[in-house]
Amino acid sequence: MERDQSATPVEADAESAAERRREPAFNLPASLTGILLFLVTVHALRTYVLSAAVDEELILNFAFLPVRYTIPLDTQGLAWLWTPVTYSFLHGSWEHLIFNIFWMVAFGAPVVRRIGPARLAAFWCLAAAASVALHVVFHWGELAIVVGASGVVSGFMGAAVRFVFSPSGRISRQFAHLNRRLSLTETLANRSALVFTGIWFLTNFLVGLGLFSAGGMGSIAWEAHIGGFLFGFFLFGWFDPRR
């Protein structure tokens, strides 16, 4: 749309404000929207369609269990191979799922806009695997079931810290993905990025101490959150097409 060059500064500001108001309030990349719909569909099927016996079988074959890796791999099926990724598509409750969707919309959207759907698939799989890799270090041989996309969401957060904060510390919801990726030194020198990272780690350590617990989420695998965040923070450059 062409703008009237004869407009006064006040009129121009009013026109710019009107354009901003016409921006969609909910504008997600198609690939991220598809993932969110898939997560909702999976949980709806588990909750309302599958029998308890079938759902237990699904959990056994697609959730992550640290105990799998204490058993000789040649004496079991191949679930040990895919469960470090497939657990991220399962959730313990609607509260758990909605919590992850909220943060995925906030931090996943700028990352996905930046890297595109093909790199997103690789990022998701590797972030999920990195999350439970750190989790299993602290819970070797345990029978506790791990499900949820929280580790991947943490990966999105770690990746976003590398580029969403402008030098002023502000975040542009629509254009943050166009920012230059900061080096590690620049990231740690950015006050907003440093404060956000510090609060994030403090919150997760408090979760580890049992001071926070979201309803319906059960035991929180906070070590997996740390693993995902570190993966996104340090290795986002592998996926970032912008230099």
pLDDT at site 175: 72
Residue 243 lies in a domain: no
Backbone angles phi, psi at 176, to 5 degrees: -60, -30
Query: Amino acid identity, residue 205?
Result: F
Question: For residues 150 and 42, what is the distance between their CA atoms, to the nearest angstrom?
Answer: 16
pLDDT digits (tens, 9 = 90+) for 58-88: 999 999 999 999 999 888 999 999 999 999 9
- Bridge partners (DSSP) listed for residue 64: 146
CB 131 within 8 A of CB 152: yes
Residue 25 lies in a domain: no
pLDDT at site 166: 67
CB 163 within 8 A of CB 181: yes
Residue 14 lies in a domain: no
**Cα–Cα separations (whole angstroms), residue 148 to 29, 80, 89, 238:** 21, 17, 6, 24
How many independent structural domains does the chain possess? 1
Please state, rounded to an integer, the average pLDDT across all residues of the chain.
85
Model-level pTM? 0.83
Residue 48 lies in a domain: yes
CATH number of the domain encompassing residue 134 = 1.20.1540.10
Is pLDDT above 70 for 35?
yes
Mean pLDDT, residues 191-198 taken together:
93
Residue 5 lies in a domain: no
Mean pLDDT, residues 126-149 taken together:
95
Residue 7 lies in a domain: no
pLDDT digits (tens, 9 = 90+) for 141-188: 999 999 999 999 999 999 999 999 866 556 655 677 878 888 999 999
Residue 87 lies in a domain: yes
**Cα–Cα separations (whole angstroms), residue 162 to 28, 99, 196:** 20, 23, 11
Nearest Cα to Cα of residue 124 among 90, 99, 89: 89
Residue 182 lies in a domain: yes
Question: What burial class does residue 65 get, using C-beta atoms within 10 Å of its C-beta: 0-12 exposed, 13-18 middle, 19+ buried?
Answer: buried
The domain of 96 spans 30-238
